Amino acid sequence: MEQTPQEKAKELFDHYYIIIQDVGGELGQEILVSILAKQCALYLAREKLKEEWELQNFDEYYYWQEVEYYLESLN
């Protein structure tokens, strides 16, 4: 079953959060890690948006548009 855009946004954020936290170690302050994770996930979502637009795959484009929306709403 495909994830909802909201679930995908959370998965991407969590993925980058864990990577950044691991790399940052002692320096991985909560706010900084969250900001970086969000920016990484947004970058990926926006790249997918460009790719799907170019392929004229509009169902996937709208899916990634919603993922981007949910990522932007994360604090």
Its domain, for residue 42, covers: 5-73
Q: What pTM value is reported for the model?
A: 0.78
Give me the number of domains the chain comprises: 1
pLDDT above 90 for 73: yes
**Which amino acid is it at 16?**
Y
Q: Which residues contact 19 (CB under 8 A, 6 or more apart)?
A: 37
The Cα–Cα gap between 52 and 13 comes to 21
pLDDT, position 12: 94
pLDDT, position 27: 55
pLDDT digits (tens, 9 = 90+) for 2-40: 899 999 999 999 999 888 888 766 655 778 888 889 999
